[in-house]
Structure 1
Amino acid sequence: MNIKLLDENTLQAWDDYVNQSQGSTFFHRAGWREVIQRSFNHDTYYLFAEENGVIIGILPLVHIKSLLFGNSLCSTAFCVYGGIVADNEEATLALDRKAGEIARELGVDYLEMRNTAQITPDRPYKKLYVTFKKDLLDNVEDNMQAIPRKQRAMVRKGAKAGLISEIDEGIERFYRAYSESVRNLGTPVFTKKYFRYLKEVFKEDCEILTVVDSQGQLISSVMSFYFKGEVLPYYGGGTERARSVQGNDFMYWEVMRRAVEKGCKVFDFGRSKEGTGSYRFKKHWGFEPQPLYYEFDLVNSKSIPDVNPLNPKYRLFIAAWKKLPLPVSQLVGPWLAKDLG
């Protein structure tokens, strides 16, 4: 067995492995390597274990070296899931060992594995994030009835307000809604080209759904990923009007409705931090939280990093960011966001 680095000649073999492996996720796809390199210029180390010319395990890694947020090696940065996917324990151990070697050669503060299940019990993990997944029913109306009554009323309020959903090929309306929303949360926005590359690389598996009112005015928009019968609304946001007409509630229902019509079997509402507004929002939809195990190999750091908006030391920064004019946040935000993997 050999551990090798992904190159242009092995891209298809990597994705073939991802598509057939039970433990893989959309975020293990090789396209993320191209998107991250082109968008943020970070170094990547996409490792695979090969035996008799056949891939038997993979581990995508991204190196982020930031003066503000530290030096890390992560599987996978900018993604909620990651870690090793392998056919056997031997491949798992070999990939993990190689990742540790690279982490120490780079002199990072820590190596982070964003696992959906605990893989290495003796490593510390961050007890902060959960994910929300739910099986979809075959019939659209059955899925509507499965939403708790109060949340169902919110969706119907949006429909009564004359909201409709449209599929966008471009990113302009999405970026306006998304950037306004994250500015209001006090979070730096990603560069526009990042979303353009996501659409370009993942094609029909990356879809933008935009909600407008009866006059065609932008209300909200979301970028979703499709993978192995699952839909994952990943980046989304609403304009100032969205709250008064339940624009976000209607938007997520439209993603669900269209996913059912496409034959999807699972709705992945994605990651949230425990106790936050997004956590409560997803609970209101009838989804139950499932813990995520972000495991850390502390190389030079003495403790698990705490780079997230709940950290009190970022409170003043977040409060100031919320007050920025939207064009200023769109200009300055990408410089910061590229290191917030």
Structure 2
Amino acid sequence: MHEARLAPDPAPSSAAIAVRSLQGNEHARWDAFVDTCPDATFFHRAGWQTIMEQGFHHDSHFLYAEQDGHIAGVLPLAHLRSRMFGSALVSLPFCVYGGIACGSSSVRQALDSAALALARRLGVGHLEYRWRELPEDADSSWLHKPLYATFRRPLHPDAEQNLLAIPRKQRAVVRKAMAAGLHSAIDYDLKHFYPIYAASVHRLGTPVFARRHFALLRTVFGKACEILTVYHGQQAQASVLLFYFRDEVLPYYGGGSVLARSTGANDFMYWEAMRRACARGYRLFDFGRSKLGTGAYDFKKNWGFTPQPLPYVYQLVRAKALPEVNPLNPKYALFIRAWRRLPLPLANLLGPHIVRQLG
């Protein structure tokens, strides 16, 4: 089920803590720690350094704390520079989770101090940690802005029990899609996924990632990154790119065609992701984050998932106020409406140049 990893470094002692920058030949060592650290997520993996640098051309600053020659904590950071939205040091852009993964408050403080010093040296507007769960001893001086929730739930080993856990109305949509003959398959290229995804986000008024972004994800993360597509006959109607981490599955980038709403292909797609993961021994379904008060937020609640607020935190460095870079900001409403009116080929051409600045 999982990729082979090096044995993790032994537990750290009370020795002095040194903070270092991740080097290209240390990715396996970093990932060995991430694989066993309870605080770590898929987005703490070293491969994101490659995504940040080669995919988005952002400088990365992946910091780790070392004790007795062993990794004791990690903090992946990337430096976003945008003419439109300013400069920020973020853990981690384009990812739903981030922050420090470690096993002790002393290691967390060492990495935190190093990150703040780096943020000041770079002269960024703010430093941002995308915690999934806020540490009990987190510094209360950090600013917090409620904006997102995540949706996570254990998978039952029996697929039928997972189906029955879906509320009745939503479960009926899945059963209807089954009865209509929809089926899923694992795709090994972007042929179906990218056009469906690009058209889907265009209808939402959101700039799309470049096709090469998804190709790079597949290359960097290998078997931990998979594409699942739903078909009606030979017609692809919905597709999702999945991440796998330890015993979790994360449907991360997904979209449906204009027919998907009427056929239930979107619901069936997530059910198939759940069913297939269960069959392969995964034990937790991470439905990902959604903005509060949005349709995506309601959709996941309708699946029976309980929202868990995400405690993203910020330290102002040169900025005077927290950024408001999100589609719920009224100032972006005109842009969203205009983007929807762009011809799809033009939106696909321009989108990657804009989205890399958003993070």
Structure 1 partner of 2:228: 209
Tell me the CA shift for residue 87 of structure 1.
Answer: 2.0
Match of 1:313 among 305, 325, 331: 331
Match of 2:203 among 171, 184, 187: 184
Name the CA distance, whole Å, in 2 between partners of 1:243 and 1:86: 42
TM-score, normalised by the number of residues in structure 1: 0.98
Structure 1 partner of 2:81: 65
Structure 2 partner of 1:262: 280
3-state SS of 1:63 partner:
strand
Name the CA distance, whole Å, in 2 between partners of 1:120 and 1:201: 34
2:359 equivalent to 1:332:
no
Tell me the CA shift for residue 65 of structure 1.
Answer: 0.5
Name the CA distance, whole Å, in 2 between partners of 1:276 and 1:268: 18
Residue type of the partner of 1:261? A
Structure 2 partner of 1:80: 96
Name the CA distance, whole Å, in 1 between partners of 2:166 and 2:258: 25
2:268 equivalent to 1:272:
no
Name the CA distance, whole Å, in 2 between partners of 1:71 and 1:8: 25
Name the CA distance, whole Å, in 2 between partners of 1:72 and 1:189: 21
Residue type of the partner of 1:250? F
Greater shift, 121-130 or 261-270, is seen at: 121-130
Match of 2:52 among 12, 27, 36: 36
Structure 1 partner of 2:8: none
Structure 2 partner of 1:101: 117
TM-score, normalised by the number of residues in structure 2: 0.93
Percent identity reads 51
Name the CA distance, whole Å, in 1 between partners of 2:45 and 2:191: 25
Tell me the CA shift for residue 160 of structure 1.
Answer: 2.0
Name the CA distance, whole Å, in 2 between partners of 1:4 and 1:256: 39
Count matched residues.
340
Tell me the CA shift for residue 66 of structure 1.
Answer: 0.3
Residue type of the partner of 1:82? G
Match of 1:140 among 154, 159, 170: 159
Name the CA distance, whole Å, in 1 between partners of 2:332 and 2:269: 30
Structure 1 partner of 2:12: none
Name the CA distance, whole Å, in 2 between partners of 1:260 and 1:87: 30
Tell me the CA shift for residue 121 of structure 1.
Answer: 2.2
3-state SS of 1:234 partner:
strand
Match of 2:143 among 124, 127, 136: 124
3-state SS of 1:264 partner:
coil
Match of 2:310 among 292, 301, 316: 292
Structure 1 partner of 2:236: 218
Name the CA distance, whole Å, in 2 between partners of 1:87 and 1:283: 32
Name the CA distance, whole Å, in 2 between partners of 1:309 and 1:267: 26
Tell me the CA shift for residue 70 of structure 1.
Answer: 1.3
Whether the 8 Å CA contact 1:120–1:295 is kept in 2: the answer is: no
Structure 1 partner of 2:5: none
CA deviations on 1:203-231 (whole Å, 9 max, x unpaired) are: 111010001112x1120100010101000
Whether the 8 Å CA contact 1:61–1:75 is kept in 2: the answer is: yes
Structure 1 partner of 2:270: 252
Structure 2 gap segments, 5+ residues each = 1-16
3-state SS of 1:10 partner:
helix
Whether the 8 Å CA contact 1:130–1:292 is kept in 2: the answer is: yes
3-state SS of 1:170 partner:
coil
Name the CA distance, whole Å, in 2 between partners of 1:305 and 1:208: 33
Matches within 5 A, 1:150-165: 150-165=169-184
Name the CA distance, whole Å, in 2 between partners of 1:204 and 1:295: 32
Whether the 8 Å CA contact 1:75–1:82 is kept in 2: the answer is: yes
Residue type of the partner of 1:136? L
Structure 1 partner of 2:9: none
Name the CA distance, whole Å, in 2 between partners of 1:53 and 1:11: 16
Greater shift, 155-164 or 242-251, is seen at: 155-164
Name the CA distance, whole Å, in 2 between partners of 1:327 and 1:212: 24
Residue type of the partner of 1:241? L
Whether the 8 Å CA contact 1:76–1:114 is kept in 2: the answer is: yes
